[in-house]
Structure 1
Amino acid sequence: MGVPDVYFNSWSESFRRPFGAVKIGSMIYFSIRAAGSTITKVDLMIQKDGEQTQEQHMARSSENDSLYYLKFMTEGKAGLYFYHFRISYLENQQEKSVFYGKAVDNYGGEGRAITDPAQIEQYQITCFDHRDPAPDWYVHGVIYHIFVDRFFNGDWYRRILHPKKNTFIYATTEDLPYYIRDKNGDIVRWDFYGGNLNGIIDKLNDLKKLGVSILYLSPIFEASSNHKYDTADYFRIDPMFGDRKIFDKLIARARRMGIHIILDGVFNHVGADSKYFNRFSHYGDGGAYQDLSSKYHDWFTFHGDHDHYECWWDIADLPTVNKEKQTYKDFIFGSENSVVDTWTAAGIGGWRLDVADELSDTFIAGIRKAVDRHDQNENDKVLIGEVWEDASNKISYGKRRHYLDGGMLHGVMNYPFRTLIIDLINGKINAQQAARASFTIKSNYPRDTLFANMNNMGTHDTERIFTMLSENEKKMRLAIWLLMVLPGVPCIYYGDEAGVTGGKDPDNRRFYPWGRENQKILTMFREAIKARRTDENLQIGNFYSFSIGLVFGCLRIQSKDRYTLFLLNPTLESITLDLDHLIDETRGDLIRHCLKGMLQTEKKIEAQSFRIDQTN
């Protein structure tokens, strides 16, 4: 007699079906294998998020006395369930328990049995209210993220449009970014290169040739800084970038070329130097800082006097707005002339919400409603949120977030995939760990969200991907193709395709090296983007990750006759593939079936290389 032998796999439909996230009200079928003659009962311990744990007794199969099963109905509002199993048994006439939860790596799939209930890591079920797919133009596209000041100056003589007082302009576009700070570390002189909207218009043909179909612009509204996350006027294009006429021209030109524009919505905070706060009196006598009777005063939280106020991350330049004030909600999204309505009506494809963690669910839902008002056709606009972690179970300020329940965000910035790409290629994780990490995201996210996530290898907030890969071109090629193969919409940070390097801010915000691009890397991007844009399997095919020894694998499949297989060898040694080393986390036969055909012709993958095969 001893501890029962227990096995469960949340990714295998032999043990839990249907797979992954489900619509609330769905029935879920659980099975678990528990072998042992002394077992007295098996219970599913399941908890709706925020509620008490339920004990659901599992019945023993009449055909297999080691198999226990249960049907469970999800109910109530959309949200999360968490669950594990308790297996009770007798030992020396005493009743004891063993528990089965997630593995020690805290991923889903195959778990582990433990005797200490305090060590249980529970499995997750994501329940959404309704399907909420992003527009086809978005899901099938490739995004290019432009930091406007650093991209291109469209003036014929390269003159800087409307330079700001008390700032400096770099002597050449090859100068490295640099901050001038005071003794407290605050930036006292903002730096500019002179990129503008006309510059983007001038380069639309280049972007089209690269293969991108979506432009995501860093903030373009009036602000003191070069990055524009300190908004001064939501209804005015920053004069250094252009004006409304030039913006409309950009929208029209891009539309004719089949390119959509996504704007950056920064609604959690504004600039201290803004018409709303006006700390430095650049906007007359009004504003919350200057005038207690200002219509903007109750948007902000002051402590004692006007010099002490709530600000984002304690950055005085970024006073935080009270998003629960109805006047602010109306200003951003709740009226026909709101910020979101005004710019969405101008013809943009959608928004990316800055620091979505700082916005309440009701605030995001309000923005989504305003965006949807401007759908020319059903499901024409997209709304993406900046979330750095797994957005399905995110807790922010002590509250569980419901971004993905339906009617809020279509998707989020997929930073977990960025980490996976870098760590796999740099050898910090192995192929099986990468497979488990990616499959956990798949199982936690609604399918529509998984395909709508904005996947990136770098942004204005991170080190450049080429730098993270030690400027190794072989590694870079692997990263580029992995970005195109993983589920979600690939997003290229401007200059990555040119081989731009850079560490943390501001070094990651160098000017684009026009005429000095790394042509080898540029060719890599063009080839990979073309594959992504022409292979529908890579856009909407179901996703399975797996490992064969040290090789990471990805299957994107629409049917048994329409699929694409991708195998990546990140190591420094060539590898001969052996199906006996296949680890399929679903414990099914689909991946093995698809691999058999691929490996009939060639079983070797060279060091730091990949293989991609399409079957249609």
Structure 2
Amino acid sequence: MAPDSAYFNSWSEAYRRPFGAIQIGKSIFMAIDVRFAHVLRVELAIQKDGSGFEYVEMFQDGEDPIKYRIKYVTEGASGLYFYHFRITCQTDSGTRLYYYGKQADHCGGAGQLLDDPGAVSQYQLTCYAYSDPAPEWYTHGIIYHIFIDRFNNGNAFHRISNPKKNSFIYATEDDDPYYIRDSKGHIVRWDFFGGNLKGIIDKLHELHQFGVTILYLSPIFEASSNHRYNTADFTKIDPMIGDRPIFEKLIKKAKRLNIRIILDGVFNHVGADSVYFNRFGTYGNGGAYNDTRSAYYNWFTFHHYPDSYDSWWAVDDLPTVKKDLPAYRHFIFDSDQSIVSQWTEAGIGGWRLDVADELPDDFIAGIRRAVDRHSNGNDRKVLIGEVWEDASNKIAYGKRRHYLEGGMLHGAMNYPVRHLIIDLIEQRISARSAARQLLTLKSNYPPEAFNAAMNNIGSHDTERILTVFNGNEEKLKLAIWLLMTLPGVPCIYYGDEAGLTGGKDPENRRFYPWGRENQRIKQIYYQAAQARRHDLNLQSGDFLPFSIGDLFGFVRFRSQEYWTMLLLNPTSIEQPVHWDERFDETGGSRLLEAMRLFLPVGLSLAPCSLRVICNNS
């Protein structure tokens, strides 16, 4: 370490232990190396989220005079701590303060020394209430996300069941989706292909053979749209896709193949065309829009009755519901006859909560309690939330969220990893930056939540992954293998494995190309899925990323004897593997050093390629 310098690494157990998030009430050890001529005081500057700073003096190590140590005990309710270090020195011109915080990329690990307190980026310490693991069937599984209208029609001759008024049906299943909008951009004719639950039942064996163990379905409840996020009636399955007996048949047949069903819970808003709001009179004379005496009137916030009301992102087709209203909570989760209880009792594996940012923490906690009431030792349920950012420190509507600290979400959709995968492969970030970002997520999330993240490289809200890479199948292969091997639960968006392309909605919602699949891409997905299904290291192993120049790598390990390593070359030139030049962000791992023996002599990676090396001895 150079003169007049300091060093701390939040990922190295020599400087902070234990690694990552801890249970509230536990203590954490921290140490920092300080090399200045005249050190007067070294302090840990730490604050509980929402509180002021506490400055705690650190004490010099008797055997190592440049090292200052402290053991800090967390206390109170679960939540976040933020911290940096303050160093007071004596100089010829008087007393001077220095500060040590995160690097400019805002990742953890080794930081930087600054003399401007306003420039300090603080480290995060996540304190969770208790260990809250997701069910093993979920964390060890592979998810397949089905947009029901666009997957498969199981009716004879592909007949459309119960077509809706004021809509249109495509002439063929390979037509491109298209919206008919009015002058204000509102959709005035919803379009349908006719995918249904029977169609999913017909493909269960094929999905099982592919390696799928979990089906995440787009909303199944009655609605006027093809996506059904504008719920019309939570108690009924949309007649275009089936009915309760068909749904129960799907659950029963899927269970025989050890496939679970996750439903999409859309509880922040309903449809304007619904039994609850009934703006268009579809459901008779009742509903909040038509009658201030309606049982549903108090569910909504009207500014000028009836035409001005709160809606999701000002989309008037999606009036938002008051989540703090006891009557609504009773209806959704807080009774044995609630919506969550009714459908969970039917035998599903759990729920994915739409726009979790819009749901108060105690609302999510209430849903979790309802879900847990239907869990048992052999059939535990899962609750996942849609969050687009780091879910450990998310702020929504001015409030810190506590999704992952116990008793709420088991995990969140992992859009940060999707962005990272794309940026790494497109070389918008370096291999080292990718390793640092992944370690930051690992250290921010409670371990169980990190392993329960729903990883994806595409969804109904994003461009198709093959389109992102402009049709480059070599880049796609890298993304697929990262999806299947990184920590978290891989989720395949229907049709990605068949080579579907498309930009954002509606292009990303084309009908599955049955009989016209890209077999090369399908085989890549299959091989990666099988690796995930049969390699326990990839299902439950710990995670250590690293970089070697432009090469990105990581190891998933259960012990020093059982591990799987992936090396990836995102560049357009061949890259030799100079193992001695690897950069381990944790400050040095014995495990990585031991792996040297398993690397082929003279190993190099071709352009845009990867290599998987396993040791299960």
Hey, what's the Cα distance between the residues in 2 that align with 1:304 and 1:156? 49
After superposition, residues 274-353 of structure 1 pair within 5 angstroms as 274-353=274-353
> 1:121-200 maps to which residues of 2 (within 5 A)?
121-200=121-200
Q: Which residue of 1 aligns with 2:421?
A: 421
Secondary structure, in 3 states, of the residue corresponding to 1:343? helix
Give the match's secondary structure for 2:270.
Answer: coil
Q: Deviations over 1:406-428 (max 9, x none)?
A: 01000000000000111111111
Q: Give the drift of 1:376.
A: 3.1
Query: Quick one: distance in 2 between partners of 1:168 and 1:417?
Result: 37
- In the other structure, the counterpart of 2:237 is 237
Q: 4+ residue runs of structure 1 moved beyond 4 angstroms?
A: none
Note if contact 1:198-1:246 (Cα within 8 Å) is conserved in structure 2. yes
* 1:91 counterpart = 2:113: no
1:539 aligns with 2:539: yes
Work out the number of aligned pairs and report it.
Answer: 615
Matches within 5 A, 1:400-479: 400-479=400-479
In structure 2, how many angstroms separate the alpha carbons of the residues matched to 1:5 and 1:159? 73
Cα offsets for 1:172-193 (capped at 9, x unmatched): 1111011111000110000000
Looking at structure 2, the residues matched to 503 and 181 of structure 1 have their Cα atoms a distance apart, in angstroms, of 18
1:17 aligns with 2:35: no
Q: TM-score, normalised by structure 1?
A: 0.99
| Residue type at the aligned position of 2:495 | G
Rounded Cα–Cα distance in structure 1 between residues aligned with 2:567 and 2:194: 43
One-letter amino acid of the counterpart of residue 123, structure 2: Y
Contact kept in structure 2, 1:3 and 1:98, CA below 8 Å: no
Distance in 2 between residues matched to 1:158 and 1:93, nearest whole Å: 85
Aligned partners of 1:190 and 1:168: how far apart in 2?
Answer: 7
SS in 2 for 1:20: coil
Describe the superposition over 1:482-509 as per-residue Cα deviations: whole angstroms up to 9, x where unpaired. 1011000000000000010000111000
Give the match's secondary structure for 2:242: coil
Preserved CA contact (<8 Å) 1:579 1:592: no
CA distance in 2, matches of 1:281, 1:526: 48
Matches within 5 A, 1:443-522: 443-522=443-522
Q: Give, in angstroms, the shift of residue 455 of structure 1.
A: 0.2
Q: SS of the residue aligned with 1:65?
A: coil
Q: CA deviation at 1:93?
A: 4.0
**Residues 602 and 379 of structure 1: is their aligned pair in 2 closer, same or farther, counting only changes over 3 Å?**
farther
Match of 2:563 in 1: 563
- 1:301-352 Cα shifts (integer Å, max 9, x gaps): 0012210000000001000000000000000000111000000000000000
Q: 1:133 to 1:378 in 2, by over 3 A?
A: farther
2:248 aligned with 1:248: yes
- Contact 1:546 1:554 (C-alpha < 8 Å) held by counterparts: yes
Note if 1:361 corresponds to 2:349.
no
Letter in 2 for 1:529: A
CA deviation map 1:65-117 (0-9, x unaligned): 11000010011000000000011111224111110000000001011111110
Contact 1:134 1:379 in 2 (8 A): no
Percentage identity across aligned positions?
59
**Within 1, Cα distance between the matches of 2:354 and 2:64?**
53
Whether contact under 8 Å (2:560, 2:591) holds in the other structure is: no
| Structure-1 separation of matches of 2:154 and 2:241 | 10
CA positional deviation for 1:52: 1.2
**Distance in 1 separating the partners of 2:520 and 2:4:** 57
Q: Measured at CA, do residues 402 and 31 of structure 1 come closer, stay the same or move farther in structure 2, by a change above 3 Å?
A: same
CA contact (8 A) 2:3 2:35 kept: no
Give yes or no for contact 2:269–2:320 (8 Å, CA) kept in 1: yes
Superposed CA deviations along residues 134-186 of structure 1, whole A, max 9, x for unmatched, are 00100110000000000000001111000001001111111101111100011
- In the alignment, the residues of structure 2 paired with residue 590 and residue 318 of structure 1 have an alpha-carbon distance, to the nearest angstrom, of 54
What does residue 55 of structure 1 align with?
55
- Deviation digits for residues 346-382 of structure 1 (CA, Å, limit 9, x no counterpart): 0000000000000001000000000000013267100
Amino acid at match of 2:522: L
Report SS of the residue matched to 2:158: coil
Aligned to 2:391: 391
TM-score w.r.t. the length of structure 2 is: 0.99
Hey, what's the Cα distance between the residues in 2 that align with 1:221 and 1:304? Answer: 29
Task: Quote how far apart the aligned CAs of 1:3 are.
Answer: 7.9
SS of alignment partner, residue 307 of structure 2: strand
Structure 1: which amino acid aligns with 2:554? C
- Once the two structures are TM-superposed, the CA of residue 589 in structure 1 deviates from its matched residue by 2.4
- 1:543, 1:557 within 8 Å by CA — same for their partners in 2? yes
Distance in 1, matches of 2:45 and 2:239, equals 59
Name the SS of the counterpart of 1:478 in structure 2. Answer: helix
Q: Secondary structure at the match of 2:157?
A: coil
Shift of 1:600: 3.8
The letter for the 2-side match of 1:386 is E
* Higher mean C-alpha deviation, range 353-362 or range 368-377: 368-377
- Which residue identity is paired with 2:90? L
**Which one is further off, 216-225 or 574-583?**
574-583
Does the CA-based 8 Å contact 2:272-2:317 persist in structure 1?
yes
Alignment partner, residue 257 of structure 2: 257
Secondary structure of the residue aligned to 2:555 is strand
2:498–2:518 CA contact under 8 A, matched in 1: yes
3-state SS of 1:144 partner: strand
Q: CA RMSD in A?
A: 1.0
Report deviation, 1:580. 2.6
Q: How much has 1:13 moved relative to structure 2?
A: 0.5
Q: C-alpha separation between the residues in 2 aligned to 1:465 and 1:579?
A: 32
Matching of residue 574 in structure 1 with residue 579 in structure 2: no
Question: Could you give the per-residue CA deviations for residues 523-559 of structure 1, whole angstroms, max 9, x where no partner exists?
Answer: 0000000000000100110011110111100110110
Deviation at 1:591, TM superposition (A): 4.3
- What's the secondary structure of 2:156's corresponding residue? coil
Instruction: Give the corresponding residue for 1:382.
Output: 382
2: CA distance, partners of 1:345 / 1:135: 17
Compute the displacement of 1:29 (Å). 0.3
Residue type at the aligned position of 1:564? T
Where 2:571 maps in the other structure, the secondary structure is coil
Does structure 2 conserve the Cα–Cα contact (< 8 Å) formed by 1:391 and 1:412? yes
| Structure 1 residue aligned with 2:117 | 117
Gaps of 5+ in 2: none
Q: What's the CA shift for 1:605?
A: 1.2
| Farther-moved stretch of structure 1 (456-465 vs 588-597) | 588-597
Q: How does 1:266-281 map to 2 (within 5 A)?
A: 266-281=266-281
Structure 1 segments unaligned to the other structure (5+ residues): none
Residues 222, 232 of structure 2: 8 Å contact kept: yes
- AA matched with 1:465: I
| SS state at 1:70 partner | strand
- Cα pair 1:44 1:85 within 8 Å, conserved: yes
Alignment partner, residue 102 of structure 1: 102
CA distance in 2, matches of 1:536, 1:26: 30
One-letter identity of the residue aligned with 1:462: T
Answer whether contact 2:543 2:556 (CA < 8 A) is retained. yes
AA paired with 2:502? G
Return the alpha-carbon distance in structure 2 between the equivalents of residues 590 and 221 of structure 1.
53
Letter in 2 for 1:175: D
